[in-house]
Structure 1
Amino acid sequence: MTNEQSTTAQSAVNPELELEMQELEAMEAPGFWTGVSVGVAISASVATSVAIT
């Protein structure tokens, strides 16, 4: 519980830092998973073409 209180206190002292972290969290996950799905699709395509030839 002390950690939650200190985090809240830090947010009150520096609201810009908290806003930047929220922006980064929202941006980080979608791009990562899009990259993973594209990589898997390319790998599957290459593996299939190698297996066929």
Structure 2
Amino acid sequence: MIVNIIDIELAYAPPFTIAIEVLIHAATTLKNIGLGFAKRTSTKTVRTAFKPVKN
């Protein structure tokens, strides 16, 4: 299913281009997680890692 979305061939349609790009990007990310090329992380982990330093 994910591979089908990644490899989808669509005609150029300006009103839908942005939405389609996001869908293909999400499918590619899921594929990479499934293949072990990327790791999942939670928003809590990201917020903790990039917490602003208080002076």
Fold shared, TM-score > 0.5 on shorter chain: no
- More helix as a share of residues: 1
- Higher RCO structure, 1 or 2 (CA under 8 Å, sep 6+): 2
Compute the TM-score of the two structures, normalised by the length of structure 2. 0.40
Larger radius of gyration: 1
- TM-score, normalised via structure 1 length: 0.42
